[in-house]
């Protein structure tokens, strides 16, 4: 598996994974997804094998109360590629990008029913900081996870 930063010509393949991973009510719209992937205060990492995209992750950051805080917008792995450590590697890559941007904390929302994602975050030091009811369509709740970031992430 090869990991690299996003390029604008990746968008069609990236959005095809979004469509494979989420039902219409739960997925980001094309315009919003492109904005997320291409904004200046973010990094989008791509996982690919033999020129075919297998997954991606987007992290953005902003200055809040005199420190930089990062937010994981999404980590998505094509259904046929799951279980191979791609999500774990993408998580490490976006944490590294957040650290390089000076972020001291990284946080996210995750569907309270997404057990696989919750296991991934907990295994990598994220702690549950709360729950937000009706965060997702159809009244689905989100769990809020956060993790302090070191000055640099080793190995990425």
Alpha helices in the chain (DSSP H): 11-21, 30-38, 86-100, 115-123
Q: How do residues 101-131 score in pLDDT, each as one tens digit? A: 999 999 999 999 999 999 999 999 999 999 9
Helix 115-123 to helix 86-100 angle (10° resolution) is 50
Cα 23-105-90 angle, rounded to 5 deg: 45
User: pTM of the full predicted structure?
Assistant: 0.91
Token look-up 């009244």 returns 139
Ranges of residues in the chain whose predicted pLDDT is under 70: 151-156
What pLDDT is attached to residue 23?
87
Give the pLDDT confidence score for residue 156 in this predicted structure.
Answer: 44
Q: What is the pLDDT of residue 154?
A: 46
Q: Do the Cβ atoms of 96 and 153 come closer than 8 Å?
A: yes
Domains located in the chain, CATH noted: 2-148 (3.40.630.30)
Q: How many residues does the chain have?
A: 156
Count of beta carbons in the 10 Å neighbourhood of residue 47: 26
Ramachandran region, residue 144 (left: φ > 0; alpha: ψ -120 to 50; beta: rest)? beta
**Cα gap 18→34, rounded to integer Å:** 11
**% of the chain exceeding 90 in pLDDT:** 85
């Amino acid at each position: 598996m090869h990991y690299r930063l996003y390029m604008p010509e990746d968008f069609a393949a990236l959005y095809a994974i979004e469509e494979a991973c989420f039902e219409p009510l739960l997925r980001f719209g094309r315009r919003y997804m492109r904005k997320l992937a291409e904004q200046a205060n973010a990094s989008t990492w791509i996982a690919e094998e033999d020129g075919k995209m297998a997954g991606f992750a987007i992290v953005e950051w902003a200055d809040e109360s005199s420190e930089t805080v990062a937010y994981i917008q999404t980590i998505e792995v094509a259904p046929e590629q799951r279980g191979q450590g791609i999500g774990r590697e993408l998580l490490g890559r976006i944490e590294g990008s957040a650290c390089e941007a000076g972020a001291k904390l990284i946080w996210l929302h995750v569907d309270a029913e997404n057990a696989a994602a919750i296991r991934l975050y907990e295994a990598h030091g994220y702690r549950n900081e709360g729950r937000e009811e009706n965060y997702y369509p159809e009244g689905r709740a989100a769990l809020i996870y956060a993790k302090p970031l070191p000055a640099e992430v080793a190995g990425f």
